[in-house]
Amino acid sequence: MTKELIFAGFGGQGVILAGKILCIAAMKEDKCVSHIPSYGAEMRGGTANCSVVVADEEIASPVRAPRHLHRAQQAIPGQV
């Protein structure tokens, strides 16, 4: 089972906290979790989003190197 959720709102509404609470509850049930918060540039009242993934199995890292880094590594002999 894998569930992907996005919490969205404005700063101060508890969007990030809601995602953290879900993650903590899932971890107590021995689930694997991923929590990625995102904030707007504004000081107050800006956008706030939180992506949460809850799964029975290990979750792959959502971080990926930009394409130009992959090409640069392929161009250097001996690099993997």
Domains by residue range for the chain, with CATH:
2-75 (3.40.920.10)
The dihedral region occupied by 58, where left means phi > 0, alpha psi between -120 and 50, and beta the remainder, is beta
Residue 73 is predicted with a pLDDT of: 46
52-77: per-residue pLDDT in tens? 999 999 888 756 555 555 444 444 55
If you average pLDDT over residues 27-35, what whole number do you get? 94
Note the pTM of the prediction, 2 decimals.
0.69
